């Protein structure tokens, strides 16, 4: 059912953890299943992502997509990171079963939420980035998780 790459990233997830002095942090929840993903990005003065880490409370596909997406955004500019869509993530994993496609959306949304947080903290606007609708790090809901 799963590709070798998915199993590899699920069994040996890369970049698990937190970045204490992260430039941006994004937390998103999947309305369909209740799973949660948090993405930490360290971005340098040139707008290049130096480090990405994640924490995911979710299914194996969510763990695998968050793992590979941290690898995909590292070393990229913010604009390039916006191209790490759920489609790109799925392709990099050699596909996901149809019922698991929604899991890959979490990775895209978590990256966007972290970039949005970075932009807000720095008072900048990132072209092509829309306010994430499901950033549960805002407001009091976070306490529930
Ligand atoms: Fe929830 Fe995959 S089933 S993210």
In this prediction the ipTM stands at: 0.96
Overall domain count for the chain: 1
- Cα separation, 73 vs 106, whole angstroms: 15
Say yes or no: CB of residue 109 within 6 Å of ligand 1: no
- State which ligand 1 atom lies nearest to the alpha carbon of 34: 1
In a domain, 76, yes or no: yes
In a domain, 120, yes or no: yes
Say yes or no: CB of residue 13 within 6 Å of ligand 1: no
**pLDDT tens by residue, 28-75:** 998 778 999 999 999 999 999 999 999 999 999 999 999 999 999 999
Q: Does position 145 have pLDDT exceeding 50, yes or no?
A: no
Q: Tell me 83's DSSP state.
A: T
Supply the range of the domain harboring residue 64: 4-132
User: For residue 27, how far is its CA from the centre of ligand 1 (angstroms)?
Assistant: 15
- Point out which residues pair with 77 in neighbouring strands: 48
Whole-number pLDDT of residue 138: 45
Residue 17, phi-psi category: left (phi > 0), alpha (psi -120 to 50), beta (remainder): left
User: For residue 124, how far is its CA from the centre of ligand 1 (angstroms)?
Assistant: 32
With cut-offs at 50, 70 and 90, classify the pLDDT of residue 118.
very high
Say yes or no: CB of residue 106 within 6 Å of ligand 1: yes
User: For residue 33, how far is its CA from the centre of ligand 1 (angstroms)?
Assistant: 6
- Extract the tokens encoding 14: 């890369």
Say yes or no: CB of residue 24 within 6 Å of ligand 1: no
- Cα separation, 21 vs 34, whole angstroms: 27
**pLDDT tens by residue, 80-101:** 999 999 999 999 999 999 999 9
CATH code, domain carrying 101: 3.90.1010.10
Q: Which residues contact 78 (CB under 8 A, 6 or more apart)?
A: 43, 47, 49, 115, 118, 126
């Amino acid at each position: 059912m799963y590709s070798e790459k998915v199993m590899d990233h699920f069994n040996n997830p890369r970049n698990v953890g937190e970045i204490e002095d992260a430039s941006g942090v994004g937390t998103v929840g999947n309305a369909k299943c209740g799973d949660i993903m948090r993405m930490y990005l360290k971005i340098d003065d040139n707008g290049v992502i130096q480090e990405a880490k994640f924490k995911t409370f979710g299914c194996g596909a969510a763990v695998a997509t968050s793992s590979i997406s941290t690898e995909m955004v590292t070393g990229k500019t913010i604009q390039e990171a916006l191209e790490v869509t759920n489609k790109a993530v799925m392709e990099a994993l050699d596909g996901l079963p149809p019922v698991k496609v929604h899991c890959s959306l979490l990775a895209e949304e978590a990256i966007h939420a972290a970039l949005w947080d970075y932009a807000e903290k720095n008072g900048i606007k990132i072209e092509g980035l829309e306010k994430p609708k499901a950033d549960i790090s805002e407001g009091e809901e976070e306490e529930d998780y």
